[in-house]
Amino acid sequence: MREIVLDTETTGLSPQEGHRIVEIGALELMNHMPTGKTWHQYINPRRPMPAEAFAVHGLGDDFLRDKPVFAHIAEAFIDFIGDARLVIHNASFDMAFINAELGWLQRPVIPFDRAIDTLEIARRRFPGSPASLDALCRRFGIDNSARTLHGALLDSEILAEVYLELIGGRQPDFGLAPGQGQEGAKTSASPTGWRPGPRPRPLPPRLSADEAAAHAALVETMGEGALWKKFT
């Protein structure tokens, strides 16, 4: 199963107000594991960068002036994401901008049901708790010390780790692993890992007397070198 973890940076909060995408970062997951394939692009928005947005991501007019416009990178972006599901934190925000940019180019928009919104997953799992990317990093012990400013590719890499924790870890196990039952459940696992103790009473044999006798008779026909005789 192929998924693309994706993040954007923009000039503002709404494409309806004329704001544009200035950065896209994406990475590929295959069966919930990163493949190492990424896609990253800065984009010239052809409009001034508001101070409020610059304070978030640090991408200013001088830096973006020689970058390609969205029309010039749209094909490469669509080729990279293909038909994969898109893992996005606060998907309604990023999808609105991506589809606005595609719409302005008269290109088909991306159906919203292709998006997996990690913000919604986090709110369902931890109702009433902070669900920002930074808050989830703290919850799961993910190092985000490099995130002094928002950056689309770095945020995608961090989000991939958060997403894998939200769905059960790097190797999803349907909640059957020790200590991964209900949220907040305690486990008696030691630092070396959980081990089952001995049964108070051994289970009774399920082999009947007749079956045991028939097996013994069969072993006798195999001669003195029969492997079974090493266990009897």
Report the catalytic residues: 150
Expressed in percent and rounded to 5, the helix, strand and coil fractions of the chain are: 40, 15, 45
- 3 state DSSP class of 224: coil
Distance between CA atoms of 47 and 49, rounded to whole angstroms?
7
Q: By C-alpha distance, which of 11, 63, 64, 6 is closest to 40?
A: 6
For residues 16 and 98, is the Cβ–Cβ distance under 8 A?
no
Structure-block tokens of residue 153: 């590719």
Residue with tokens 């998924």, as numbered in its chain? 3
